[in-house]
Amino acid sequence: MKVLVIGRGGREHAIVRQFARSAFIEKVFAAPGNDGMRLEAELVPIEEMEFQALAQFAKEQKIDCTFIGPEQPLSAGIVDFFESQGLRAFGPSKAAAQIEGSKTFAKELMKKYQIPTAAYATFSEIAPAIDFIRQKGAPIVIKADGLAAGKGVVVAGSEEDAIAALHDMLEDRKYGASGSTVVIEEFLDGEEFSFMSFVYNGRIYPMVISQDHKRAYDGDRGPNTGGMGAYSPVPQIEESIVDETFHKIVKPAIEAMAEEGVPFNGILYAGVIVTAEGPKVIEFNARFGDPETQVVLPRMKSDFGDFMYALMEGKPFDLEWQEQAVLGVVIAAEGYPEQPEKGKLLPNLAGLSGVDIFHAGTTATSEGFAANGGRVLLISSEGDTVKAAQEKVYEQINSLSWSGFMHRSDIGWRASNPN
pLDDT class of 416 with cuts at 50, 70, 90: low
**pTM, whole model, 2 decimals?**
0.93
Alpha-carbon distances of 116 from 96, 272, 274, rounded to whole Å = 20, 10, 11
151: pLDDT strictly greater than 80: no
Look at the domain 119-186 and name its fold: Dna Ligase; domain 1 (3.30.1490)
Give the Cα separation of 229 and 218 in Å (integer): 11
pLDDT one-digit tens code per residue, 365-407: 999 999 999 999 999 999 999 999 999 999 999 999 999 999 9
Domain with CATH 3.40.50.20 in the chain: 2-93
Alpha-carbon span 153 to 137, nearest angstrom: 17
Mean per-residue pLDDT, 26-36: 97
Radius of gyration of the chain (CA): 21
CATH 3.30.470.20 residue spans of the chain: 191-313
CATH topology of domain 325-406: Glycinamide Ribonucleotide Synthetase; Chain A, domain 4 (3.90.600)
Assigned CATH class of 2-93: alpha beta
pLDDT band at 418 (very low <50, low <70, confident <90, very high): very low
pLDDT(150) > 70: no
Superfamily of domain 191-313: ATP-grasp fold, B domain (3.30.470.20)
